Chain A
């Protein structure tokens, strides 16, 4: 009996191992060095910003791609402490990692730290922080494209001349880049008349923006389109539009998306017509892939741009999309970007 049981156990273990082998490593064998032994590859993610849905999703993307590659990922989180973030790069160097992803941060504090890592022979990529280094590829979500997609949809829905309210706070890099597109658009379509510009980052942002938007709508009751190129702004504007009873008369165009945004866009008679978004999880995956390319001796290019997707209210309702997972499942262009994707790269979204 004993003997049989043991044999059975061994067989079970053998079978399980075989199943594992069959699933994963078909690719592992094909991956270039150092990913032929992915368990020995250590990479670090050094973060500046981490709280909020966007950053959670970014992290999950980094984790899923790292897992698909089979590499060892360390996450160092400086929680908005610029000096600590620079120290963490040194810490990562001391840990003996082969690759570092710098996620956000300040150019001034990260430039030298990034250079030290490069000098130590470590491959580095940077997301949304310019470290002014030719050897370091910049991962970007294209804010200009985000704004352009949303505005093109606004022109498509409302024609070329309308009165607009615009939500903007200067001095925030992604918002500034989105603003450049808005300025161009106003030049291109002289019929677009910006009746009011407002905005605040007082938190809870949606609540503060809602208060402002109420005033703006009262002062300018003929506004037809609200351009709110950040989803917290758009939520605030939507609350104000609903409270003013104008949801059928005004359309909101925005950027970024989250599960609660989807719910707000799907509400009956929702004023929120469309949003353009880059999937933060995809940006996370692309960050790891670009780093992996560097480690394998390939060149991902200096600017790795993750293209955005336009998501309209109609898309959400027609496809019955209720959260981010369903969005990824039903709009494939949102779930995966064909960026930094050489043939050997495992796709974390492939089942």
Chain B
């Protein structure tokens, strides 16, 4: 292995370790189990979304609607519990159903209506940003809110649902690991195993790298593509559930920042281990990388705009790793 190969393969992970060492020396309290956990927690929601978008990247597509799927799921969960006074299970099921439906519609538009993926999911994004506001006429949802017809919504977020955002599991230290981090880790392992080691996952890569060849080889390309969008929709709605559980209310939000951060994580993931392609492990590392950077910078009192700058710089460097240094990108 030449130094160049080494740099491509381990450069990004070395950079991540270097950052951790730097922040440990530069700030107080960075190197503690609690700090490690909240870095994970801060990237849990974007991480889950990023894993979903990875699935669409694998089949050569793209999903711009994930951010708004997440915020729509958040509003739906809040609406189900606060206005319709349903329990946590119903709220979660409604969110997942929304994710599946949006995924199916996205997939249908792209595969059968032949709408380019960026445009179809862009349309879906706008549609959802508007849709989530219709039931409450643009108000955020919280217990005690007044509905458009003048009645007062008396439902509350059920404790079981809030636990999804607030409960912490004991892990050597009591009350250490929040549910959202566990969800992130489970989903990351699941999607990683699914994409790398199952026939279904490998076929998705085949569809992504050459849909025509895959089709000629007898693969149901259309079905694989639709499945990818369904996965993406479901992951985004899970992200929305975690968001609602953390905030404890239904917040009007476009979710654009969630979209951008998760896409950045997935793209940074291309560079990890020199994969030069979408991969779940890389996405998880990418999300973690952004989290370490942002939390470290915040601890050093860096203002928010430097954080956007740094995020952008990391993305550019990662893309250079992917496309310029690796042989695959050169082709």
**What residues of chain A have their CB less than 8 Å away from a CB belonging to chain B?**
50-53, 56, 169, 196-208, 210-212, 214-216, 218-219, 221, 235, 239, 242-245, 258-260, 262-264, 322-325
Residues in B whose Cβ lies below 8 Å from that of A242? 166
10 contacts between A and B (CB under 8 A): A52-B138, A204-B247, A211-B38, A218-B38, A263-B142, A263-B143, A263-B249, A322-B144, A323-B146, A325-B146
Instruction: Please tell me if the beta carbons of B254 and A203 are within 8 angstroms of each other in the complex.
Output: yes
Residues in A whose Cβ lies below 8 Å from that of B28? 219
Instruction: Please tell me if the beta carbons of B247 and A211 are within 8 angstroms of each other in the complex.
Output: no
Which of A198, A201, A239 has the largest count of B CB atoms less than 10 A from its CB? A198
Residues in A whose Cβ lies below 8 Å from that of B144? 259, 262-263, 322-323
Task: Give the interface residue-count category, chain B.
Answer: 35 or more
**What separation, in Å, do the CA atoms of A258 and B29 have in the docked complex?**
35
Nearest CB in chain B to that of A210: its residue: B246
B33 to nearest A CB, angstroms? 11
B87 at the interface (CB under 8 A from A): no
Interface readout for B250-269 with A: 1 if CB under 8 Å, 0 if not? 01111111100100000000
B53 to nearest A CB, angstroms? 18
Residues in B whose Cβ lies below 8 Å from that of A203? 253-257
- Of B106-114, B277-285, B297-305, the one contacting chain A is B297-305
**What residues of chain B have their CB less than 8 Å away from a CB belonging to chain A?**
27-30, 32, 34-35, 38, 41-42, 45, 71, 74, 133, 137-146, 152, 166, 175, 178, 243, 246-249, 251-258, 261, 294-296, 298-301, 303-304, 307
- Known A-B contacts A198-B298, A204-B251, A218-B299; A211 and B42 likewise in contact (beta carbons under 8 Å): yes
Residues in A whose Cβ lies below 8 Å from that of B143? 259-260, 263, 322
**What separation, in Å, do the CA atoms of A215 and B302 have in the docked complex?**
11
- Known A-B contacts A323-B152, A324-B146; A216 and B139 likewise in contact (beta carbons under 8 Å): no
Nearest CB in chain B to that of A171: its residue: B305
Nearest CB in chain B to that of A324: its residue: B146
Residues in B whose Cβ lies below 8 Å from that of A221? 29
Instruction: Please tell me if the beta carbons of A200 and B304 are within 8 angstroms of each other in the complex.
Output: yes
Residues in A whose Cβ lies below 8 Å from that of B295? 211, 214-215
Contact of B298 among A206, A216, A258, A325 (CB under 8 A): A216
A75 to nearest B CB, angstroms? 13
